Amino acid sequence: MKVGLLSGKVEIKNLKLKKQIIEELNLPFALKFGIVARLNLQVPWKSLSSSAVVAELEGLYIVITPTSKGRTDETPGASSSTTCSRTGTR
C-alpha cells in the first residue's frame, strides 16, 4: 500500500473482496473469490467539493456462483411455459 496523503494519491495492491458485499446487495449470485490487482485513488483534498475523486481498478478477478435469491419461481428449477396458438387464413 502506498499513501501520499498530501498529494491525494493512494495505491492498494491485491485487495481482496469480501463475500458479504454481494450478499448485502441481494443479487442472484454469490461471490466465491474476488481480488483487485491494483486500486488507485486520487483524492483532490484542496478542491474536494468541486473536483471528482478518481478510482481506477486494474485486474478485477472474480469467481461467482448462482444462488436461488431473486427467483420468482415457487419451485426451484421450474421453468415457465407459454402456450402459443396460431390463427389465420389460408
Tell me the per-residue pLDDT of 33-86, one tens digit each, with 9 for 90 and over: 999 999 999 999 888 889 999 999 999 999 999 987 654 444 444 444 344 444
Q: What is the pLDDT of residue 67?
A: 87
Residue found under cell 481498478: 57
Is 79 contained in some domain?
no
Q: What is the pLDDT of residue 21?
A: 83
Q: How many domains does the chain have?
A: 1
More confident residue, 4 or 88: 4
Is 32 contained in some domain?
yes
Per-residue pLDDT band for 2 (boundaries 50, 70, 90) equals low
Is 90 contained in some domain?
no
Is 48 contained in some domain?
yes
Is 60 contained in some domain?
yes
Q: Are 44 and 5 in contact (CB under 8 A)?
A: no
Q: How many CB atoms lie within 10 A of CB 41?
A: 14
pTM, 2 dp: 0.59
Give the domain extent around 49: 2-66
